[in-house]
Structure 1
Amino acid sequence: MADPYKPVIAIAGLACETSTYTPTRTLAPAFHPVRGDEIITRAYPFLTPGEPLGDAAEWHGALIGHAMPGGVVARAAFEELAGEIVRRLTDIVANVPSLDGLWFDIHGAMVVEDMQDAEAELLRRVRGVVGQDTIVSASMDLHGNVSRELAHQTDLITCYRMAPHEDHLITKERACRNLVDVLNERVRDQRRPIKAWIPLPILLPGEQTSTRVEPAKHIYAAVDGVEDTEGVLDAAIWVGYAWADERRNRAIVMATGWEQRAVAAGAEKLARLFWDAHADFAFVGKAGSFKECIGAALKSKARPFFISDSGDNPTAGGSGDMTWGLTRLLERPEFKDPSGPTVIYASVPGPKAVETAVQAGVGATVTVTAGAEVDHVHSGPITMTGRVHAIKFGDKNAEVEVVIQVGSVYAILTRLRKPYHKEHDFTDLNLKPREADIVIVKIGYLEPELHNMAADWMLGLTPGGVDQDIERLGHHHIRRPMWPFDKKFEKEPDLRARIISMSNEPLTDPDD
C-alpha cells in the first residue's frame, strides 16, 4: 500500500508590534531569529514528530523572528531578515519535490521605515519564491492589521480570540491545522478557500477591547459559532492596532471556508455585532490619571493594589524607557520615608545605573541616573539615591536587573527593557508583590498572573508612545471617519462581505 499523502509545508514570518509614536528603532537582533529545524524543536511543540500535526505534514523551517513591541523597524533590519527568509525559502523549494503550503507566522502591526503594509510586502516577496499555487495560512495577533492586499495574498488567516492572549499557541496550532486540512482537501478537488473580508471604521486601544469584559466578550464569543457553521473553516476579528498612524489601521472581520454564502453570512454577522457595540467599549478596569490612581491606592484597604503605567507599556510598543511615572511617584511625600507604604515600580532601563549598583553591591547606598536615553519627550533622566536591594543576572530580556530602594519605593532598573508579567519576575529580585501595598507596572490590562495577584487595580492613563487616550496622539494618515476620532457618521458603514480570491484584481473602492 502506498504511503498516505503528506504535504510539504514551510514556516516563515516576522513579528513586531510597532508604535509610530515611540522614538526607538527596532533592529535585526531584537527579532531573535530562529532558523531551520530549531523553529519546530524550540518554538512549536505541536509540530514535533509524534504529535498529530507534526506527523501530518513534512515541515521545513525557514526563519521566524519575534521582536518585543517597540518603535519602527529599521529598513536595513527588515531587508536583512526578509532577504534571509527569501534565501532560505529558495533553498527549501529547490530541495523538495513541491512546496504545498506555507505557514506565515506574523503579528500584523509591524511598521518598517519608508514602507507601507510591511506584512503584505514580506508576503509578496515570499510569494515570489514559493509561487501563487502554494497555500498560505497566516496566524496573527488580534491587534494586527489586515489590509486588503494581505487578505488577497493569504489563503487562510486567523487570529487570537482572547485578550490577554492566553490562546496564542492555540491560535498558531489552529492556523497549521487549517492549512493541513485544506491541503488534504485540495488533493481531491484543487479548490482554494473562499475569503470574506469586511473593514470597519473603528480603531480602539487594546485596553478597551479585553475579551474579559463586555462588549468584546460577547463579540468574540460569537466567533466559535460562525466557525462551526457548515461550509466555514475559520472566523476572525481584528480590533486593529491604535498606536501606528497608517492608512491600513482599523478593525477587520474575516471568515474563510468552502461555501461563499456561509462565509459571507458569518463575516457579516460578526461585523454587525462589532459595529452595533462600537460606542459601548470602555476601559477594561477603573481608569484615571496617575495622580488619581495613586490617591485611590492610598485610600484603599485592598492589598496589593496594582496600577498600570500604561503609556509606556513595552509590550504594546512603548519604549519602556520613560521616567515620567517613576518621577511622579518619587515626588510624593507619602513614600519619602522607608516606613511608608511599600511600593514596587517596574521598571526603567538604565545601563550605567545598573553597572554602578552592581559594582557597589547589595546593601550599598548609591546615587544613579537612569532612563530617557531614547524616549525623553515627556520627561528626562531620573536621578535617585537609595540602597541596592537586589541584583540579578541572566534575564533573557533585561540581561541585568537591580532594585534600588528609595524611601519606601523599590524601583527596578534594568540593563535592557523588560516586561514584568509574572510573579517570579518580582520574587527573583527578592521582592514580595503579594505583601506590597502598591505595585506599579508598565503594562495595560493586567496579564493573568498579575490579575490573579491584584486585590484591586486601576489603569493609569499616563503619557507615552502607547497613550491610551489615542485621540490626543495626533493621527494624520488613518481613514476618516473613524471611531472614536469621529463621533458622528453621515451614514452607516458598508458591512457587506467583500469576497476575495487570489484571482481578484485589487479593489478600487477608496473605502477598501
Structure 2
Amino acid sequence: MGGGPTRRPVIAIAGLACETSTFSPSKTLAPAFHPKRGQDIIQKYPFLHPGTPLSSLAEWKGALIGHALPGGIVTREAFEELTGEIVSRLQETVATSAALDGLWFDIHGAMCVEGLDDVEAELLRRVREAVGKDVIVSASMDLHGNVSRELAHGCDLITCYRMAPHEDTMETKERACRNLVELLVQKERRRPIKAWIPVPILLPGEQTSTRVEPAKHIYAAVPEVETIGGVIDAAIWVGYAWADEPRNRGAVVVTGWDEKVVVESAEKLAKLFWDARKDFVFVAPHGSFKECLDAALSSKSRPYFISDSGDNPTAGGSGDMTWGLTKLLARPEFKDASGPTVIYASVPGPKAVHTAIEAGIGAIITVTAGAEVDNIHSGPLTMTGRVHSIKHGDKDALIEVVLQVGSVFAILTELRKPYHHEKDFTNLNLRPRSADIVIVKIGYLEPELYDMAKDWMLALTPGGVDQDLERLGHHRIRRPIWPFNKTFEKSPDLSARIIAMSNKPLTGPDE
C-alpha cells in the first residue's frame, strides 16, 4: 500500500444503517440497531482482525455502529440516543489519541428518521463536528442507498456494493477501509476530487439485480473505470424506491486525482445508467399472488418459490402483514394435509408462539397472529393447526413455531425475521428442497434460495415495499424521474459536479 510516516494512522469507525420504508406503519427503535462498540466492532470485520494488512497499517478505534433490520421510520428519540453516543465516543477518541487521522463511515444510505431529511448527511455533519474538519472520511454504502450533494460533500471517499443480491458486502467495506488507509499513508495527504452526478431514475431492487441485464453490464463497467489511472473508486447507486424524500434517486460518484479523468468517467457511467432506463424489468416472471400460485400448482418444477414481495422485511416492510398467508389458506388446494406441501415464511405472532409452546409439538391449537403493526391491507389471522416444531434462540425471531394448517406449514415468530438460508428452514424440521411450493417474504431470491429453487415467480403483493411503486403515492421525490414520469421536456443534466470539501456550508440546490 506504499510507504508513509512511521506513526500508524489512527482511524475511528462509526455509523448507523437501516433501510427504511416511509410507506410502512412500523417504527424502528434504538434496540433494533443492536449497537456494537469498541473492540466488538473490530471483531465484526475479519479484514480488521490482528495479523491482517489493514490492522498492521493503521490503528482502528471502534466508536459505535448499529445495523438494524430494514423496517419503518426510525424514531427521533432512537436516532438522537445513538447519535449522541457516537458523538461522545468520537470526542473521547479525539481526546485520548495523539491524533485522529481518518474515519470509516459504515452506513447503508436509506435510513429515514422522524422530522429529518437526508439523515446520513446529518449524522455525518455531527460526526465532523466531533472529529474536526481535517479527518479524512471514507464511507461504504449499499447500492440501494441515496447520495445527496450534502452527503457527497461530507465524505472524502465513498463507495458502494456492486452486486445485487449483495454478495460483495464485506469486499465493499474492506475496499472503503483500504482506500482510506492508502490515502492516509501518503506523505502528502490530499483530499481526492469527487465527481457527483444525480440520475433521475428510481427503481426497486427487483428490477435492478446485477444478475441480469441491463444492471449486469452497467455494474460491470464500474471496476473497469476503477482501473483507469487517476481514479481511486467508482460507484453507482440505484437509490431507495420505498421512501419519499427529495434525495431518493440514482447517483454516480467517481473519486480520484485527475479531474479530467474523474469527470469523464462519472459522465460515462451516468449516461450508461440513463440510456438503459427503459430496459429495466423485473428479475423474474411476475404477477398477482393468485397468478403465481396458479403457475406454481400447474408447474412440474419442485420446489417452486414465490416471493411475497410487498411485505419483504429486508427491504423495509413491516414483516407482520397477513395478506399473503390469508390468501394462501383460503385456497381449496391446501385445505387438506394431503394437498401440495407449502412452506410459508413468515408472520409474527408473539401470543400464538407462546400458545404453541404451552401446548407442545403435535398439539392442535387455534391461534391468532399478525397485523399488530401493519393492518392496512388485512387484519389479524386466526387459524387452527398442528404444532410441527418449536425453536428458541434465533437472533431475530427469538422464538419460531411451525404450524401445519392443511398442507401449509406456516412459520410464526415472536419477532419478525427474514428467511434467506436453507438452515432457516431445516432448523425448524422443514425440508424446502422436498416441498412443492415455498413462499417467502422477499424480493429477488437471496443466493441460497435461488440455488434451491427449480423455478420461481415474483408476486406483486401489497405492503410497505410494494413493487408497483406508482400505487404507493410518492409526492416529495424530485420530478421528473423515471419511471414515474415517462416523458421529459428536456434531457436531464448528466454533467459531473465537482464536490469539494471545505469549511463553508453548501449553497444552491441539490441537483
Indicate the TM-score class for this superposition, using the shorter chain for normalisation.
over 0.9
In the alignment, what sits opposite 1:214?
213
CA shift for structure 1 position 4: 2.7
2: distance between equivalents of 1:283 and 1:374?
28
Instruction: Give the structure-2-normalised TM-score.
Output: 0.98
Task: Map 1:3-22; keep pairs closer than 5 Å.
Answer: 4-22=6-24
- 2:344 is matched with which residue? 345
State the 1:441 CA deviation. 0.1
Residue 182 of structure 2 corresponds to residue 181 of structure 1: yes
**How far is the alpha carbon of 1:221 from its aligned partner?**
0.1
Following superposition, the deviation at residue 373 of structure 1 comes to 0.2
Q: Which residue of 1 aligns with 2:452?
A: 453
CA distance in 1, matches of 2:125, 2:59: 23
- Residue 52, structure 1, aligned to residue 59, structure 2: no
Flag the 1:180–1:227 CA change in 2: closer, same or farther, 3 A. same
Q: Provide the C-alpha distance between the structure 2 equivalents of 1:234 and 1:6, rounded to a whole number of angstroms.
A: 23
- Structure 1 segment 170-319 matched on structure 2, within 5 A: 170-185=171-186, 188-319=187-318
Deviation of 1:503 after TM superposition, in Å, equals 2.5
- The CA distance in 1 between the partners of 2:480 and 2:197, in whole Å, is 16
Q: State the distance in 2 between where 1:38 and 1:323 align.
A: 37
Q: Distance in 1 between matches of 2:47 and 2:506?
A: 37
- Amino acid of the residue matched to residue 99 of structure 2? S
Gaps of 5+ in 2: none
- TM-superposed deviation, 1:229: 0.5
| Corresponding residue for residue 29 of structure 1 | 31
- The answer on whether the counterparts of 1:365 and 1:385 sit within 8 Å (CA) in structure 2 is yes
Determine if contact 1:23/1:319 at 8 Å carries over to the other structure: yes
TM-score norm. by structure 1 comes to 0.98
Letter in 2 for 1:159: C
Maintained 8 Å contact 1:149/1:506? no
* Partner-residue secondary structure (3-state), 1:143: coil
Q: Write out per-residue CA displacement over residues 66-92 of structure 1, whole angstroms, 9 at most, x where no aligned residue.
A: 000000000000000000000000110
Q: Which stretches of structure 1, 4 residues or more, deviate above 2 A after TM superposition? A: 2-5, 503-511
Mapped contact 1:245–1:478 kept (Cα < 8 A)? yes
* 1:307 CA displacement: 0.1
- Give the residue type in structure 1 aligned to 2:33: F
Residue 389 (str. 1) matches residue 391 (str. 2): no
Contact 1:321 1:375 (C-alpha < 8 Å) held by counterparts = yes
Find the aligned partners of 1:196 and 1:176 in 2 and give their Cα distance. Answer: 20
- How far apart in 1 are the matches of 2:80 and 2:510? 30
Task: Measure the CA separation in 1 of the matches of 2:23 and 2:130.
Answer: 34
Tell me which residue corresponds to 2:483.
484
Q: Deviations over 1:329-360 (max 9, x none)?
A: 00000000100000000000000000000100
The aligned residue for residue 39 of structure 1 is 41
What SS is found at the alignment partner of 2:105?
strand
Quote the offset at 1:509 in angstroms: 5.1
Matched pairs, number: 508
Q: CA deviation at 1:383?
A: 0.3
Question: How far is 1:37 from its partner?
Answer: 1.1
> What is the rounded CA distance, in whole Å, between the counterparts of 2:291 and 2:380 in structure 1?
24
User: How far has the Cα of 1:507 moved from its partner?
Assistant: 5.8
Residue type of the partner of 1:203?
L
Aligned to 1:74: 75
Amino acid at match of 1:103: W
CA distance in 2, matches of 1:215, 1:505: 39
Structure 1: how far apart are the matches of 2:11 and 2:482?
Answer: 40
CA displacement, residues 136-165 of structure 1 (integer Å, 9 cap, x when unaligned):
000000000001000000000000000000
2:141 corresponds to 1:101: no
**1:299 Cα shift?**
0.4
* Amino acid of the structure 2 residue aligned with 1:373: E
Contact 1:12–1:63, Cα closer than 8 Å, also in 2:
yes
Q: How far, CA to CA, are the matches of 2:370 and 2:5 in structure 1?
A: 60
Contact 2:27 2:73 in 1 (8 A): yes
- For 2:169, the equivalent position in structure 1 comes to 168
Distance 1:504 1:494 in 2: 27
Computed over aligned residues only, the root mean square deviation of the Cα atoms, in angstroms, reads 1.1
Name the CA distance, whole Å, in 2 between partners of 1:409 and 1:462: 19
Aligned residue number for residue 374 of structure 2: 375
Q: Secondary structure at the match of 2:365?
A: strand
Q: Distance in 2 between matches of 1:461 and 1:506?
A: 43
Pair 1:119-2:120 in alignment: yes
Say if 2:148 and 2:510, in contact at 8 Å, map to a contact too.
Answer: no
SS in 2 for 1:425: helix
Give the aligned partner of residue 432 of structure 1.
431
Q: 1:47 to 1:197 in 2, by over 3 A?
A: same
- 2:267 and 2:309 map into 1 onto residues whose CA distance is 33
Deviation, 1:492, is 0.9
Structure 1 stretches lacking a partner, 5+ long? none
Asked if 1:84 is matched to 2:85, the reply is yes
Distance across 2 between alignment mates of 1:425 and 1:158: 31
Post-superposition offset of 1:511: 5.9
What is the SS of the residue equivalent to 1:189? coil
> Do the aligned residues in 1 keep the contact of 2:239 with 2:248 (CA within 8 Å)?
yes
SS in 1 for 2:185: helix
Q: Are the equivalent residues in 1 in contact too, given 2:343–2:435 (CA < 8 A)?
A: yes
Alpha-carbon separation, structure 1, partners of 2:55 and 2:88:
24
Q: Quote how far apart the aligned CAs of 1:504 are.
A: 8.2
- Give a deviation string over 1:420-473, Cα, whole Å, max 9, x none: 000000000000000000000000000000000000000000000000000110
